[in-house]
């Protein structure tokens, strides 16, 4: 049965029996499931990864043979997992505090009595009593009286809408004037706002270039690590008759070298540092890798109300046309008026000095449908305030009225006995730093689009005052019905008005074909587009669903914070890219050396403890400090390609040294232990050369890091030679090998630099 047509007396409401019957039938206003990840999802996503699985399996093998000291690397994995879980759960809990339902109570009529209940206890068919300031908690139909409603969180339109008997009310909107009774039509998942939210219930995993690169390495490794590991172990244990302990330890070292453990931890720490920095700037990061994604953004879609503007109506100017005390007249008017919408709140804040109190003879309240209101005072006659085009006037208003309207201001004309005496200009002011932010985005090559459910002319004027260059390229999407036309407009226009939620989603999808797109929003009408965007940003004062689906939440509702996010994202990517070559050297040489060991039927020359020592001293230590340096240059090129190509020469030099030492072992009079020690020292010092390259151009910090790495590795080998199974032998030979290696790397590095210079020079000439 359609309960909208059920004959329920609004004064009596539902009976206790009827309420219970609807509860039994499941017709209760159960809120939609949260669209954010659960704690279990967060733990699962951080723990159960291919990278962690491969490292864990190697750890199990080492544990079974009692090689406990070689399991130290697992601490790195554990720290990285804990960082990810802790950060995400903290952000989730903070968002849930921010997104408590504003209207947690509702007034309903039951058994002829007015009662206050929790919004989740509303049942279908309930009669709600709604008055100014109430949030509508369920879709309903007005059954008695009329009121004014703001649906901006649902539609994006800031205009007040008059709702009369028979009109539909949507959950999530607010009553801004009047008082009425409404019968609940739809509850829970059936409501309009829930239908929108249902489309984004499944959490969308954010793509991170850095994490995706690690995933690619892990996937490649997963294909080769098992067969390589099996062959190395079989050769060692069954063919060369090596002990089980050494067979497992040497095989584990080969496999661990292919997995960039330290790099994963460095990415986690660097991102977590960004999260902490941004939290101090009132930016809540829900997914710590979204900063890195934002660094790639080249199109930013902004909402108008509450994003570019402050979201609060204010009186910006008052002009009088005749010689009257307009301030005194309006002070009496707003003090005597019973209206309490946003416009009147703004006027009360402005006209706050009532030096003389007038006597009121008659009042006509303001109506959003009529667009004007009036009060007749004994001292000055009938004063009317309202939209110029809706008022009865004895003379034509001055041209200033039309000019102000064209500039995008909300204009209220003030008349005395139907004669214009002045006008009040109201505006939702743009945020203080909006122009500066727009200029920054333009300088950084980020194309801004303004997408709003509001009037396109109003949106264009807001964009103009905020500093958007192409503000004149605006379009009213309420007139666009063909999806192909809409997709075409996405590339030719900058300002979009009267945009529906689905149209916002289509615009974002279309722009993503050629760009990386970020989207801001604060309402239910934004959630579809927010979920589709490459990086989504919500306002703290916005709807709960928008905050749950977004990756960033601006706690002070100020979009001018976004340049800080961009800077942090660029710092993470640029610095990680700079130091990644140090980590990928081990990945490359471990893979190549493992193949060579299989072909030659020899054991892998290192043990996990040796690899872990290089991870800490040569890779982790300098990279950790360098990752914090400011570096907000534009991100260019593919991260993985740049990192691997930079690491490859060092890995090749290491392999050449290993092969040379092995082939000429007898000629050099090297014992087996001396050979392994020499190989380890060559590995360490060539890796130190990679640190030297990464530290360029040098500054005091980088000089200190390079020198301390070189000294630290040398002292470590000297002091802990027993644990590392390595010692300094044949120093002259070591120096010869390192000098040759340095010369080879210098030649390769210089050739790459020349190629880069030539490309840059050609590009400059072509541009000129």
Written as six digits, the tokens of 488 are: 């075409």
Q: CATH no. for residue 356?
A: 3.40.1110.10
Clarify whether residues 382 and 468 are in a common domain.
Answer: no
pLDDT tens digits for 670-719? 999 899 999 999 999 999 999 999 999 999 999 999 999 999 999 999 88
- Can you tell me the distance from the alpha carbon of 346 to that of 330, in angstroms, rounded to the nearest whole number? 12
Written as six digits, the tokens of 412 are: 């209220």
Which of 546, 565, 584 finishes a domain? 565
Place of tokens 């003379």: 395
Place of tokens 């416009």: 343
Q: CATH no. for residue 286?
A: 3.40.50.1000
Clarify whether residues 414 and 521 are in a common domain.
Answer: no
Cα angle value 19/25/29 (rounded, 5°): 65
Number of separate domains in the chain: 2
H/E/C letters for each residue in 167-225? CEECCCCEEEEEEEEEEEEECHHHCHHHHHHHCCCCCCCCCCHHHHHHHHHHHHHHHHH
Numbers of helices and strands, H then E, in the chain: 27, 22
Clarify whether residues 510 and 436 are in a common domain.
Answer: yes
Clarify whether residues 292 and 364 are in a common domain.
Answer: no
pLDDT tens digits for 57-99? 999 999 999 999 889 889 888 988 898 888 788 877 766 665 4
Clarify whether residues 549 and 441 are in a common domain.
Answer: yes
Clarify whether residues 321 and 339 are in a common domain.
Answer: yes
The verdict on residue 295 lying in a domain is: yes
Where would I find the beta strands (DSSP E) of 498-587?
Answer: 517-521, 535-539, 552-554
- Can you tell me the distance from the alpha carbon of 577 to that of 631, in angstroms, rounded to the nearest whole number? 11
Which 8-state DSSP code applies to residue 478?
A: G
Residues with a catalytic annotation lie at: 303
Closest CA to 213 of 75, 31, 51, 367: 51
Is the sign of the CA dihedral 487, 489, 494, 495 positive or negative?
Answer: negative
The verdict on residue 363 lying in a domain is: yes
Long-range contacts (CB closer than 8 Å, 24 or more residues apart) made by 17-26: 18/125, 19/110, 19/123, 19/126, 22/123, 22/124, 22/125, 23/123
Q: What three-state secondary structure class fits 554?
A: strand
- Can you tell me the distance from the alpha carbon of 743 to that of 738, in angstroms, rounded to the nearest whole number? 9
The verdict on residue 626 lying in a domain is: no
Place of tokens 């807001």: 462
Q: Which residues of 222-251 are buried (b: 16+ CB within 10 A; e: fewer)?
A: eeebeebbebbbebbbeeeebeeebbbbbb
Clarify whether residues 461 and 326 are in a common domain.
Answer: no
Clarify whether residues 437 and 398 are in a common domain.
Answer: no
The verdict on residue 221 lying in a domain is: no
The verdict on residue 265 lying in a domain is: no
CA dihedral (513, 515, 518, 521) in degrees, to 10, reads -50
Which of 400, 427, 454 finishes a domain? 427
Residue 3 confidence (pLDDT): 42
Which of 545, 565, 585 finishes a domain? 565
Where would I find the beta strands (DSSP E) of 428-551?
Answer: 447-451, 474-476, 495-497, 517-521, 535-539
Residue 575 confidence (pLDDT): 94
Q: Which residues of the chain carry a pLDDT beneath 70?
A: 1-7, 32-36, 94-104, 133, 152-159, 196-207, 340, 368-369, 545, 749-768
Clarify whether residues 407 and 391 are in a common domain.
Answer: yes
Which helix (H) or strand (E) segment holds residue 608: the answer is helix 608-614
The verdict on residue 401 lying in a domain is: yes
The verdict on residue 477 lying in a domain is: yes
Strands 299-302 and 517-521: parallel
- Can you tell me the distance from the alpha carbon of 411 to that of 425, in angstroms, rounded to the nearest whole number? 5
CA dihedral (215, 220, 221, 222) in degrees, to 10, reads 90
- Can you tell me the distance from the alpha carbon of 279 to that of 94, in angstroms, rounded to the nearest whole number? 11
Clarify whether residues 491 and 407 are in a common domain.
Answer: no
Residue 101 confidence (pLDDT): 39
* Region of residue 436 (phi > 0: left; psi between -120 and 50: alpha; otherwise: beta): alpha
For 219, 574, 612, the CA distances from 226, given in Å and listed in that order, are: 12, 33, 21
Clarify whether residues 306 and 435 are in a common domain.
Answer: yes
Written as six digits, the tokens of 357 are: 């109190």
Residue-wise DSSP of 214-265: HHHHHHHHHHHHHHHHHHHHHIIIIIS---HHHHHHHHHHHHHHTS-HHHHH
Burial of 470 per CB tally in 10 Å (0-12, 13-18, 19+):
middle
Range of the domain at 530: 277-310+431-565
List CB contacts of 514: < 8 A, sequence separation 6 or more.
491
Given a contact cutoff of 8 angstroms between Cβ atoms, the answer to whether 84 and 268 are in contact is: yes
Residue 338 confidence (pLDDT): 80
The verdict on residue 555 lying in a domain is: yes
Given a contact cutoff of 8 angstroms between Cβ atoms, the answer to whether 554 and 540 are in contact is: yes
Written as six digits, the tokens of 754 are: 């020349």
Residue 569 confidence (pLDDT): 94
Residue 698 confidence (pLDDT): 92
Clarify whether residues 409 and 439 are in a common domain.
Answer: no
Q: Which residues of 135-160 are buried (b: 16+ CB within 10 A; e: fewer)?
A: bbbbbbbbbeebbbbbbbbbbbbbeb
């Amino acid at each position: 049965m359609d309960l909208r047509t059920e004959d329920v007396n609004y004064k009596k409401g539902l009976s206790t029996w009827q309420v219970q019957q609807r509860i039994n039938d499941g017709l209760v206003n159960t809120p939609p499931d949260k669209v954010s990840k659960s704690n279990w999802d967060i733990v699962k996503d951080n723990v159960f990864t291919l990278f962690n699985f491969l490292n864990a399996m190697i750890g199990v093998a080492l544990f079974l043979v009692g090689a406990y000291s070689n399991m130290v690397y697992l601490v790195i994995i554990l720290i990285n997992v804990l960082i990810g879980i802790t950060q995400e759960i903290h952000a989730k809990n903070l968002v849930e505090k921010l997104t408590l339902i504003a209207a947690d109570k509702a007034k309903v009529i039951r058994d002829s009595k007015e009662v206050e209940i929790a919004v989740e206890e509303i049942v279908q068919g309930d009669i709600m009593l709604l008055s100014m300031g109430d949030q509508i908690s369920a879709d309903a139909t007005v059954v008695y009286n009329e009121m004014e409603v703001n649906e901006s969180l649902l539609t994006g339109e800031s205009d007040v809408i008059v709702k009369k008997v028979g009109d539909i009310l949507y959950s999530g909107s607010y009553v801004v004037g009047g008082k009425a009774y409404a019968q609940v039509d739809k509850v829970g998942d059936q409501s309009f706002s829930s239908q929108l939210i249902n489309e984004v219930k499944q959490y969308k995993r954010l793509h991170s270039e850095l994490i995706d690169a690690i995933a690619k390495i892990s996937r490649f490794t997963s294909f080769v690590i098992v067969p390589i590991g099996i062959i190395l172990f079989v050769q060692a244990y069954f063919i060369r008759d090596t002990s089980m302990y050494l067979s497992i330890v040497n095989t584990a070292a080969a496999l661990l070298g292919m997995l960039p453990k330290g790099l994963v931890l460095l990415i986690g720490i660097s991102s977590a540092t960004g999260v902490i920095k941004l939290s101090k700037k009132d930016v809540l990061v829900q997914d710590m890798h979204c900063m890195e994604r934002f660094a790639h953004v080249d199109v930013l879609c902004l909402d108008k109300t509450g994003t570019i503007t402050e979201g609060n109506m204010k009186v910006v100017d008052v002009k009088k046309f005749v010689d009257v005390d307009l301030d005194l007249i309006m002070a009496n008017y707003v003090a005597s008026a019973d209206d309490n919408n946003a416009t009147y709140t703004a006027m009360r804040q402005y006209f706050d000095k009532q030096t003389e109190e007038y006597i009121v003879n008659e009042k006509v309240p303001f109506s959003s449908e009529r667009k004007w209101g009036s009060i007749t005072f004994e001292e000055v006659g009938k004063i009317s305030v309202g939209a110029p085009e809706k008022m009865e006037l004895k003379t034509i208003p001055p041209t200033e009225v039309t000019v102000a309207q064209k500039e995008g201001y909300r204009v209220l004309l003030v008349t005395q006995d139907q004669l214009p005496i002045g006008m009040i200009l109201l505006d939702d002011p743009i945020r203080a730093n909006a122009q500066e932010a727009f200029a920054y985005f333009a300088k950084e090559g980020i194309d801004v689009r303004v997408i709003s459910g509001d009037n396109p002319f109003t949106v264009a004027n807001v964009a103009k005052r905020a500093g958007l260059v192409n503000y004149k390229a605006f379009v009213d999407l309420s007139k666009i019905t063909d999806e192909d036309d809409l997709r075409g407009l996405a590339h030719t226009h900058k300002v979009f008005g009267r945009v529906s939620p689905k149209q916002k989603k289509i615009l974002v999808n279309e722009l993503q074909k050629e760009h990386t797109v970020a989207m801001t929003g604060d309402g239910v009408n934004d959630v579809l587009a927010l979920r589709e965007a490459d990086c989504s940003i919500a306002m703290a004062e916005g709807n709960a669903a928008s905050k749950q689906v977004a990756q960033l939440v601006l706690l002070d509702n100020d979009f001018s914070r976004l340049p800080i996010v961009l800077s942090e994202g660029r710092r993470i990517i640029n610095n990680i890219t700079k130091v990644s070559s140090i980590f990928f050297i081990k990945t490359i040489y471990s893979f190549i050396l493992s193949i060579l060991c299989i072909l030659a039927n020899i054991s892998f020359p290192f043990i996990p403890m040796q690899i872990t020592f290089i991870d800490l001293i040569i890779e982790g230590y300098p990279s950790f400090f360098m990752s914090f340096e400011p570096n907000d240059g534009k991100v260019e090129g593919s991260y993985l390609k740049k990192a691997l190509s930079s690491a490859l020469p060092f890995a090749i030099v290491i392999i050449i040294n290993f092969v040379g030492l092995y082939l000429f072992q007898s000629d050099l009079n090297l014992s087996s232990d001396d050979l392994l020690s020499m190989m380890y020292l060559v590995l360490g010092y060539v890796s130190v050369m990679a640190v030297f390259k990464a530290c360029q151009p040098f500054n005091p910090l980088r000089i200190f890091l390079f020198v301390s790495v070189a000294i630290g590795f040398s002292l470590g080998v000297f002091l802990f030679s027993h644990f590392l199974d390595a010692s300094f032998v044949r120093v002259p030979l070591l120096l010869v090998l390192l000098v040759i290696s340095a010369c080879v790397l210098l030649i390769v590095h210089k050739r790459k630099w020349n190629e880069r210079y030539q490309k840059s020079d050609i590009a400059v000439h072509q541009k000129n």
